[in-house]
C-alpha cells in the first residue's frame, strides 16, 4: 500500500493538471464527491454531525483490524468532494499513521483559495474529528 505522502503527491499531481482554472477545479472536486461510497443511513444522526462546518457533514468509522475506515457524507457536493480527498488519504491507515500525518496536499493544491475561508475552517474541523477518532482507537488498542 502506498504511503500517505504517496497518495498526497498523487492528488497534488492531479490538481496541477487542472492548473489554476478555478471552475474546472471545482467541477473536478464535485465529481470526486459523486464517487463517495454510500453513507449508512442508520448512522446519519445528530451525534455524527461535525460541528464547525457550514454545510452538514456526517462522519463515522469502521474498525478493520489495526486500521480505521472512515465513512462520511455531506449535503453539498463540493464538501463531499473534499471529504473524498481526506478519505482517500487517511482511510485504511493505522491510528499512528493518521495522527502523524502532515496533510500538506491541502495547501499545495491551494485549497484555501478554491473553497474560501469559511469552508477552510470546516475542512479543519473535519480533519480534527478524523484525528480524534484515531486518538480514541489508539487509546483502545493500548489498553
Task: Return the residue of 7, 18, 30, 125 that touches another protein, per CB under 8 A.
Answer: 30
Closest distance between another protein and the C-beta of residue 100, in Å? Answer: 32
Stretch that binds another protein, among 4-12, 64-72, 98-106, 113-121 (CB under 8 A): 113-121
Other CB atoms within a 10 A radius of the CB of residue 44 amount to 13
Q: How far is the CB of 130 from another protein (least distance, A)?
A: 21
Q: At what angle do helices 22-34 and 111-141 cross, to 10 degrees?
A: 30
When binding is defined by CB under 8 A, the residue of 10, 14, 77, 97 that contacts another protein is 77
d(CA 8, CA 106): 9
Question: What are the backbone dihedrals phi and psi of residue 72, each rounded to the nearest 5 degrees, phi first?
Answer: -150, 165
Binding window for another protein (CB under 8 A); candidates: 16-24, 40-48, 98-106, 123-131: 16-24
Q: Please report whether residue 76 would count as binding another protein according to CB under 8 A.
A: yes
CB 11 within 8 A of CB 88: yes
Find the radius of gyration of the CA atoms of the chain: 15
Binding site for another protein (CB under 8 A): 21-23, 25-26, 30, 54-55, 75-79, 115-116, 119
Amino acid at each position: 500500500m502506498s504511503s500517505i505522502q504517496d497518495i498526497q503527491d498523487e492528488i497534488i499531481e492531479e490538481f496541477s493538471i487542472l492548473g489554476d482554472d478555478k471552475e474546472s477545479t471545482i467541477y473536478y472536486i464535485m465529481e470526486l464527491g459523486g464517487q463517495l461510497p454510500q453513507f449508512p443511513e442508520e448512522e446519519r444522526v445528530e451525534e455524527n454531525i461535525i460541528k464547525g462546518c457550514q454545510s452538514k457533514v456526517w462522519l463515522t468509522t469502521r474498525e478493520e483490524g489495526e486500521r480505521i475506515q472512515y465513512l462520511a457524507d455531506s449535503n453539498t457536493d463540493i464538501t463531499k468532494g473534499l471529504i473524498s480527498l481526506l478519505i482517500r488519504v487517511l482511510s485504511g491507515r493505522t491510528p499512528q499513521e493518521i495522527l502523524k500525518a502532515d496533510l500538506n496536499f491541502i495547501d499545495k493544491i491551494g485549497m484555501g483559495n478554491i473553497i474560501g475561508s469559511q469552508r477552510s475552517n470546516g475542512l479543519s474541523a473535519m480533519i480534527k474529528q478524523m484525528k480524534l477518532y484515531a486518538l480514541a482507537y489508539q487509546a483502545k488498542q493500548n489498553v
